[in-house]
Amino acid sequence: MKQIQKTWQGYSAKRHNSAFFLFVFLSMLTAFGPFVTDMYLPSLPSMTQYFGTSISMVQLGLTFSMLGLASGQLVFGPLSDKYGRRVPLLASMVLFLFSTLGCIFSPNIELFVLLRFVQGVAGAGGIVISRSIATDKFKGQNLAKALAVVAAINGIAPVAAPVLGGAVLKVTTWRGVFAVLLALGLVLLGACVHFNESLSHAKRSRESLWKSFYLFKQVLRNRKFVFYVLQTAFAQGILFGYIASSPFIIQEHYGFSPFAFSLFFAVNAVAIGTGAAVSAKFKRLENAVLASCAGALVCGAAVMGVLLTGAGIWVFEGILFAMLFMLGLGFTSATALAMDCVRNQAGTGSAVLGAGGFLLGSVVSPLVGMGNILLSTGIVFVFCAVCSGACALLARGAGSVRNKARQSSISI
């Protein structure tokens, strides 16, 4: 057994993943979580009929998967700092395959909802570890460029997943959607086997497994990091508010068909990806974050005004496109700035960063449906934009204080 382990370690040491493989691998891992949560959204009505239950009960599958994605990142982050990136990734993929099979053959809605939580926990491994791998491999502007890919896909995937799910439903049932997710899990499992460990033994946490979770305390004491986590979470709150409200606004308020709605979704996904790509052009990442926050606030207030005054669909879509572009502009830079603050605890930091967005998303999603959806959506957009901007300013101030303290110590 020892000889086999030594042979495998020697093979792994000689094997290097190409830049193309890492690009594709990180892209798939990043998209994995959002596809787990959102791809089955178009199938909710048919699932309601299949299980003979209420719409709200079926929607619990979405809520529980988001909670699983949030809590799972808090587990896989510290595990990846202690045991490396590869082993937790393999574990998460195996867990995902079993939970997905369970979803396909669930005899009742209660078991389905429970398995959706497990699916979310498993999908969290891909999200949190993808950022950690990027942090292991790159630094500075190169890290920002690598995370630009991660952030772009992280912004596009929640919007694109329902479109793909709708296309799958044209040729199969809701079980077919989960079969596609199962196939994706198998592909990722194969990629994880091929992936070469990015975190050396020398850089791994030396604490016991239980004590490794105390890294959260160390990470959360970094004020600059915490402010960027909050800034990103509130920005994602706008995104999740859009995802939850847009089906009702576009189909019921403006009277478009489900197919037309999916086209709007696809176009808006381009806005997020374009914003993430443009963010790499900024020389100072802090400026990209501030520009994103200011733009999101202006556009959020404009969307609210459009909805309350009854303006046409093209005015609404134009401003919405601009708002999502602004969100994409900030996702990349804020993620890079946050991860750079906790480079020595990248797994744990990535867990906190990812969990914040999904936790806020699980709160925001039902809020946009309370009362008048047009008013509640506008309020959520403006409130989250204001909080996101405030956190960005606080993060910038925290960085300034740290730099001044460092300069003072040098002068002394």
Side chain identity at residue 80, one-letter code: S
The answer to whether residues 215 and 348 touch, using CB atoms and an 8 Å cutoff, is: yes
Kindly state whether residue 1 falls inside one of the protein's structural domains.
no
Annotate 92-152 with DSSP letters as a single string: HHHHHHHHHHHHHT-SSHHHHHHHHHHHHHHHHHHHHHHHHHHHHH--HHHHHHHHHHHHH
Kindly state whether residue 346 falls inside one of the protein's structural domains.
yes
Kindly state whether residue 128 falls inside one of the protein's structural domains.
yes
Q: pTM for the whole thing?
A: 0.70
Classify residue 170 as exposed, middle or buried by CB count within 10 Å of its CB (0-12, 13-18, 19+): exposed
The answer, yes or no, to whether residue 332 has pLDDT greater than 60, is yes
Kindly state whether residue 348 falls inside one of the protein's structural domains.
yes
Confidence of residue 144 (pLDDT cuts 50, 70, 90): low
Residue of 339, 333, 222, 223 whose CA lies nearest to 282: 333
Tell me the pLDDT of the chain averaged across its residues: 80
The answer to whether residues 351 and 129 touch, using CB atoms and an 8 Å cutoff, is: no
CA 322 from chain center: how many Å?
20
First vs last C-alpha separation in the chain: 57
Task: Report which of residues 158 and 9 the model is more confident about.
Answer: 158
Structure tokens at 399: 């960085």
The answer, yes or no, to whether residue 222 has pLDDT greater than 90, is no
Task: Report which of residues 258 and 263 the model is more confident about.
Answer: 263
Annotate 348-381 with DSSP letters as a single string: HHHHHHHHHHHHHHHHHHHHTTSSSHHHHHHHHH
The answer, yes or no, to whether residue 155 has pLDDT greater than 70, is no
Average pLDDT over residues 284-306: 91
Kindly state whether residue 73 falls inside one of the protein's structural domains.
yes
Provide the residue range defining the domain that includes 150: 19-197+214-411
Kindly state whether residue 120 falls inside one of the protein's structural domains.
yes
Average pLDDT over residues 391-397: 89
Kindly state whether residue 9 falls inside one of the protein's structural domains.
no
Query: Which region among 15-29, 162-176, 188-202 has the lowest average model confidence (pLDDT)?
Result: 15-29
- Express each pLDDT in 163-177 by its tens digit: 788 788 888 888 998
What CATH number is given to the structural domain containing 225?
A: 1.20.1250.20
The answer, yes or no, to whether residue 12 has pLDDT greater than 60, is no
Q: What's the number of domains the chain is made of?
A: 1
Kindly state whether residue 151 falls inside one of the protein's structural domains.
yes
